[in-house]
Amino acid sequence: DGGITQSPKYLFRKEGQNVTLSCEQNLNHDAMYWYRQDPGQGLRLIYYSQIVNDFQKGDIAEGYSVSREKKESFPLTVTSAQKNPTAFYLCASSDSWETQYFGPGTRLLVL
Amino acid sequence: AQRVTQPEKLLSVFKGAPVELKCNYSYSGSPELFWYVQYSRQRLQLLLRHISRESIKGFTADLNKGETSFHLKKPFAQEEDSAMYYCALSDWRNDYKLSFGAGTTVTVRA
Confidence at residue A98, expressed as pLDDT on a 0 to 100 scale: 72
Task: Collect all residues with Cβ–Cβ distance below 8 Å to B110 and sequence separation of at least 6.
Answer: B14, B15, B79
**Looking at CA atoms only, how far is residue B93 from chain A in angstroms?**
11
Tell whether the model's pLDDT for residue B110 goes beyond 70.
yes
Identity at A40, one-letter amino acid code: G
Instruction: Give the count of beta carbons closer than 10 Å to the beta carbon of residue B70.
Output: 26
Mean pLDDT across B54-68: 91
| Cα angle B23-B27-B33, degrees, rounded to a multiple of 5 | 50
Q: Please list every residue in chain A whose beta carbon sits closer than 8 Å to the beta carbon of residue B86.
A: 42-43
What are the residues facing A31 on neighbouring strands? A94
Range 38-77 of A in CB contact (< 8 A) with B: 40-45, 48, 50, 56, 58
| Cα angle A64-B96-B99, degrees, rounded to a multiple of 5 | 65
Which of A25, A45, A98, A99 would best serve as a mutation to test chain B binding (most B beta carbons within 10 A)? A98
Among the listed residues B107, B110, B91, B93, the one whose alpha carbon sits nearest the alpha carbon of residue B19: B107
How long is chain A?
111
Which of A43, A59, A106 would best serve as a mutation to test chain B binding (most B beta carbons within 10 A)? A43
CB of B45 within 8 Å of any CB in chain A? Answer: yes
pLDDT digits (tens, 9 = 90+) for B96-105: 889 999 999 9
Confidence at residue A2, expressed as pLDDT on a 0 to 100 scale: 63
Tell whether the model's pLDDT for residue A1 goes beyond 80.
no
In whole angstroms, give the CA distance from residue A53 to residue B107.
43
